Amino acid sequence: RTPTQTMAFTAQTLPTKTVATFNSRVAKQTRARRGAKTVVRAYDDVNLVISGANALCLALGRFVFLPYQRAQVERVGMPTQNGKTHFAAGDSRAEEASFAMATRDPAGFTIVDLLAWGSIGHAVGFLALASQSAQSML
């Protein structure tokens, strides 16, 4: 089958109203593409929501959760075997990667922390956008 035959077969199985709506939307989109100029805005809702969620999560990670997390790691200490750390026991691969923990931040916010809290910020932002979109469909 060619792609045209497959699309025609799919369109025949849909209800008539759905096919008409689909065809009108496709026609509208193709008309808009030909001669219309699109306006691009730097500060639209999506950019503001994602940037705001990232800023919020990075600030929470840096100023609220980082001291707690560092205190817990300090309290527990490094993993041990027979009373020695893995590195002291002879496992040369157990040493922390120096590039991952190197930072000039006074509190010690590393690139790993930045990537983790940034991804959480993106997830929170997309969740906010999805919930806003879902509420507008109701």
Segment 3-57, tens digit of pLDDT: 555 554 454 555 555 555 556 665 666 555 556 677 777 778 889 999 999 999 9
Question: If you search the block for the tokens 């929170």, which residue do you land on?
Answer: 124
Q: Is the pLDDT of residue 81 over 90?
A: no
Is pTM beyond 0.85? Reply is no
Cβ atoms of 94 and 26 within 8 Å: the answer is no
d(CA 40, CA 20): 30
